[in-house]
């Protein structure tokens, strides 16, 4: 009997393996077929203008059938015209059909919304001076253009150029005013690119970059729709737009061409969907629509956690994706209720990503920017409350939010705190989902009080990945976390741990969050971090690092550039907050004599330290503190206390009991004892419990507000 079972299992295993091989072959053939279809059409596209004007009716008909949708029952006149070898008549029929449909607006990128007057001003300036992005000098749009130009040695700039970013203000202005000269300019630029890269083979590494293909597809849909309603292009030029659209569709429908794991893939599918909806007369439009719609449903449920948080480690990109989802809803491009629910959940979560002073949290790849400038779709009661600073809308039901599956925790004062901008806020990041926009910043945080971000993130700088400043802002030492042996934490996808949060909550008027990361593979170290916040008074940062081997550890903190510190008693430092009667005191509380504190600002050698990037391609010096020590079992307890300007603050009896897993943290402020106890969980079930001494129930000796 046992022998029969073994033989059965062997046969079953072999069968499964054979079936698996055939499935792989089948899928590979499908993928290859799609790639080959795009390649065949690319070759066909080069001779298509000649074929359409050929004397042979058969060649004309074959060419048009490859380009136009003639099989749909609602379009018999188009099919008849093609069958009669009359491509001009076919386009006339398509124009008549398109005129009966609502005109599709341009699909903007969604990072900013301009007033109609500003749109027109930007479009007029673009025509007059050239294309300008950010603070870069304008780039001439005289044709023929050099699409492979790299005047700023910046891949992002080149990508945006080849994404047809110059067309966006022109087509927005056309939608606003209906004036033909905006469309004429957009046509000239687009057809120049098509002439060089579709009908010919100009050398340009960014021509078929993933995100650029998707962005151009959306613009192609708009251009074809607009030009079918106007007589600004002759039939040959109009067909060139169809040729480019068909080629873009074939490339984007190839699963191997979609960057599924990043937001670039999202914009590829969005562009394909927008093009298919705008130009249903394009051959394959129905297939393009089904592929894009299904792909978006699959992708977005992977890109966002079930808690409605974007997985790319950056509030900036969370807002960008939410804005695009809002744009898709506005233009009736979302057909799945689950996607709408995801959009509404992700939009609501924006309220937790903004400092009370109005700045968007800069975790991951983000520049300093006002949150309200990035919110394009504020039709949510909680967002209205945030935008109006508590005068409209509805506040969240709680003052803190922990996303245990996403890896974030956010805490703030009561939502009705006044002045609004002076509320306390803490943003803690313990997320690692992939390498996309991920810095080596595990367990970092930002903290703000009294209208100012006190402990800050490193920012984005740029996407010049080999630039020393880019490498610095990504590094571990550039963030508010612990560096081990002078090395950076892994950002490779294979090391992603998802969320490291194990506990968090509120007790006795204080907030706490705990996270743990096992770094045995790279550093042979276990790292446990606990943050305890008493809003408006103090923040304590506890790091416990254990390893069988000795390591060099550096607890790093980065401060707002406007803060300058001076030494105080008890190994600490203090800085007066500008335009305030409050001082920020930084005091190490952990026992032991082996701790060395270093203050660094604007250092370039032996390595960069003490810098932050507040805006693209800019670096600003700021104070960085490194608390250095060495050992196998290291305990950091660092206190950040807000006091009056002449407060006397010294360390007290701080200890850790491994048997009870309890931290006792004490200090003295103006002769009075302050502190808290924190007891962790055991047996893999961490539970945070805070017991704050009664003395803390009163106001601090040095009044903060």
pLDDT band with cut points at 50, 70 and 90 for residue 411? very high
CA distance linking residue 460 with residue 479, whole number of Å: 12
pLDDT digits (tens, 9 = 90+) for 636-673: 999 999 999 888 999 999 999 999 899 999 999 999 99
Answer with the residue of higher pLDDT: 24 or 215.
215
Beta bridge partners, 425, equal: 412, 448
CB 470 within 8 A of CB 440: no
pLDDT band with cut points at 50, 70 and 90 for residue 79? low
CB 578 within 8 A of CB 564: no
CB 123 within 8 A of CB 170: yes
Phi, psi of 585 (to 5 degrees): -105, 135
| Res 618 pLDDT > 70 | yes
DSSP 587-639: EE-SS-S--EEEEEESB-SSS-BSEE-SSTT--EE-EEEEEEEEEEEEEEEEE
Q: Give the number of residues written for the chain.
A: 705
| Res 293 pLDDT > 80 | yes
- Looking at residue 18, its pLDDT comes to 41
CA distance linking residue 676 with residue 664, whole number of Å: 6
DSSP 303-364: HB-TTS-BTTS-HHHHHHHHHHHHHHHHTT----HHHHHHHHHHHHGGGGGB-TTSBBP--S
Beta bridge partners, 453, equal: 448
Cα→Cα distances 467→211, 447, 461, Å: 22, 28, 10
Q: Which of 45-54, 166-175, 526-535 has the lowest mean pLDDT?
A: 45-54
- Looking at residue 697, its pLDDT comes to 41
Helix, strand, coil percentages in the chain from 3-state DSSP, rounded to 5: 40, 25, 40
CB 163 within 8 A of CB 189: no
CB proximity list for 376: less than 8 A, separation 6 or greater: 110, 112, 113, 323, 326, 327
| Res 703 pLDDT > 50 | no
- Looking at residue 14, its pLDDT comes to 44
Beta bridge partners, 362, equal: none
Cα→Cα distances 463→110, 221, 409, 428, 438, Å: 20, 29, 27, 24, 12
Residue 432 CB neighbours (<10 A)? 26
- Tracing tokens 């059409």 back to the chain, one arrives at 41
| Res 165 pLDDT > 80 | yes
- Looking at residue 72, its pLDDT comes to 55
E strand or H helix at 57: helix 57-67
- Looking at residue 336, its pLDDT comes to 85
- Give the percent of the chain with pLDDT over 70: 85
pLDDT band with cut points at 50, 70 and 90 for residue 57? low
Query: b or e along 230-267 (b: 16 or more beta carbons within 10 Å of the residue's beta carbon)?
Result: eeebeeeebbbbbbbbbbbbbbbbbeebbbbbbbbbbb
> How confident is the prediction for the chain on average, in pLDDT?
87
pLDDT digits (tens, 9 = 90+) for 448-474: 999 999 999 999 999 989 999 999 999
- Looking at residue 394, its pLDDT comes to 96
Residue 492 CB neighbours (<10 A)? 11
Q: Which of 37-41, 108-112, 171-175, 261-265 has the lowest mean pLDDT?
A: 108-112
CA distance linking residue 152 with residue 551, whole number of Å: 42
| Res 2 pLDDT > 80 | no
CA 675, chain centre distance (Å): 38
- Looking at residue 27, its pLDDT comes to 42
How confident is the model over 620-637, as a mean pLDDT?
97
| Res 680 pLDDT > 90 | no
pLDDT band with cut points at 50, 70 and 90 for residue 687? low
pLDDT band with cut points at 50, 70 and 90 for residue 23? very low
DSSP 516-562: EEEETTTTSEEEEEEEEEETTTEEEEEEEEEEEEEEEEEEEEEB-TT
- Looking at residue 69, its pLDDT comes to 72
| Res 75 pLDDT > 80 | no
| Res 419 pLDDT > 60 | yes
- Give the percent of the chain with pLDDT over 90: 69
Q: Is 479 helix (H, G, I), strand (E, B) or coil?
A: coil
- Looking at residue 52, its pLDDT comes to 56
Residue 467 CB neighbours (<10 A)? 15
- Looking at residue 77, its pLDDT comes to 61
C-alpha neighbours within 13 Å on the C-beta side of residue 237: 16
E strand or H helix at 453: strand 452-455
pLDDT band with cut points at 50, 70 and 90 for residue 546? very high
- Looking at residue 73, its pLDDT comes to 46
| Res 175 pLDDT > 90 | yes
- Looking at residue 151, its pLDDT comes to 94
Q: What is the DSSP letter of 494?
A: G
- For 106-141, what is the HEC assignment? CCCCCCCCCCHHHHHHHHHHHHHHCECCCCCCCECC
CA distance linking residue 672 with residue 170, whole number of Å: 66
Phi-psi region of 170 (alpha: psi -120 to 50; beta: other; left: phi over 0): alpha
Answer with the residue of higher pLDDT: 192 or 34.
192
CA distance linking residue 233 with residue 490, whole number of Å: 53
CA distance linking residue 254 with residue 34, whole number of Å: 5
| Res 696 pLDDT > 60 | no
- Looking at residue 44, its pLDDT comes to 65
- Looking at residue 334, its pLDDT comes to 87
Phi, psi of 622 (to 5 degrees): -150, 160
CB 236 within 8 A of CB 53: yes
pLDDT band with cut points at 50, 70 and 90 for residue 70? low
């Amino acid at each position: 009997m046992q022998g029969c079972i073994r033989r059965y299992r062997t046969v079953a295993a072999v069968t499964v393996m054979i079936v698996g091989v055939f499935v792989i072959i089948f899928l590979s053939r499908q993928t290859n077929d799609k790639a080959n279809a795009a390649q065949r059409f690319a070759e066909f596209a080069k001779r298509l203008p000649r074929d359409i004007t050929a004397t042979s009716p058969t060649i004309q008909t074959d060419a048009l059938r490859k380009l136009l949708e003639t099989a749909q029952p609602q379009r018999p006149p188009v099919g008849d015209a093609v069958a009669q070898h009359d491509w001009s008549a076919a386009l006339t029929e398509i124009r008549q059909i398109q005129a009966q449909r609502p005109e599709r607006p341009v699909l903007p990128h969604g990072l900013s919304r301009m007033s109609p007057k500003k749109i027109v001003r930007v479009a007029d300036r673009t025509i007059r001076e050239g294309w300008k992005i950010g603070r870069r000098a304008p780039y001439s749009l005289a044709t023929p253009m050099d699409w492979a130009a790299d005047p700023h040695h910046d891949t992002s700039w080149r990508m945006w150029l080849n994404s047809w970013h110059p067309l966006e203000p022109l087509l927005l202005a056309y939608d606003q005013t209906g004036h033909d000269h905006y469309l004429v300019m957009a046509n000239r630029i687009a057809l120049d690119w098509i002439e060089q890269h579709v009908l010919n083979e100009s050398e340009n590494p960014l021509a078929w970059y993933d995100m650029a293909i998707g962005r151009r597809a959306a613009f192609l849909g708009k251009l074809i729709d607009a030009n079918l309603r106007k007589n600004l292009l002759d039939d040959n030029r109009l067909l060139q737009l169809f040729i480019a659209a068909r080629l873009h569709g074939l490339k984007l429908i190839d699963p191997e061409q979609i960057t599924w794991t990043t937001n670039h893939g999202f914009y590829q599918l969005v562009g394909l969907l927008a093009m298919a909806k705008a130009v249903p007369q394009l051959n394959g439009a129905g297939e393009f629509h089904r592929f894009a719609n299904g792909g978006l449903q699959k992708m977005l449920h992977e890109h966002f956690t079930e808690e409605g948080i974007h997985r790319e480690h950056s509030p900036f990109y969370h807002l960008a994706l939410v804005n695009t989802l809002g744009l898709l809803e506005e233009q009736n491009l979302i057909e799945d209720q689950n996607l709408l629910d995801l959009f509404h959940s992700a939009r609501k979560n924006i309220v937790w990503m903004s400092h009370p002073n109005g700045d968007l949290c800069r975790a991951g790849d983000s520049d300093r920017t006002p949150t309200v400038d990035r919110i394009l779709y504020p039709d949510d009661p909680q967002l209205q409350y945030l935008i109006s600073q508590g005068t409209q809308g509805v506040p969240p039901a709680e003052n803190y939010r922990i996303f245990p599956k996403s890896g974030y925790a956010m805490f703030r004062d009561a939502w009705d705190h006044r002045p609004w901008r002076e509320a306390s806020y803490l943003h803690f990041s313990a997320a690692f989902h992939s390498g996309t926009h991920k810095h080596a910043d595990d367990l970092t945080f930002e903290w703000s009080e009294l209208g100012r971000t006190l402990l800050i993130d490193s920012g984005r700088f740029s996407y010049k990945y080999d630039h020393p400043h880019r490498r610095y802002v990504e590094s571990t030492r550039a963030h508010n976390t612990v560096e081990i042996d002078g090395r950076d934490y892994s950002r490779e996808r294979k090391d992603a741990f998802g969320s490291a949060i194990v506990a968090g909550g509120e007790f006795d008027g204080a907030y706490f969050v705990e996270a743990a990361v096992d770094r045995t593979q790279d550093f042979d170290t276990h790292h446990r971090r606990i943050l305890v916040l008493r809003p408006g008074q103090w923040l304590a940062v506890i790091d416990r690092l254990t390893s069988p081997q000795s390591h060099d550890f550096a607890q790093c903190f980065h401060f707002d550039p406007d803060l300058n510190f001076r030494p105080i008693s008890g190994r600490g430092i203090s800085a007066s907050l500008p335009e305030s009667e409050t001082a920020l005191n930084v005091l190490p509380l952990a026992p032991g004599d082996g701790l060395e504190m270093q203050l660094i600002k604007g250092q370039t050698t032996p390595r960069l330290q003490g810098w932050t990037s507040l805006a693209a391609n800019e670096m600003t010096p700021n104070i960085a503190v490194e608390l250095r020590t060495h050992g196998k079992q290291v305990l950091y307890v660092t206190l950040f206390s807000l006091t009056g300007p002449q407060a006397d603050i010294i360390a007290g009896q701080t200890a850790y009991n491994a048997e009870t897993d309890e931290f006792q943290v004490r200090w003295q402020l103006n002769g009075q004892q302050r502190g808290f106890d924190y007891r962790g969980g055991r047996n893999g079930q961490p539970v945070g419990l805070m017991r704050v001494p009664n003395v803390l129930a009163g106001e601090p000796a040095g009044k903060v507000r």
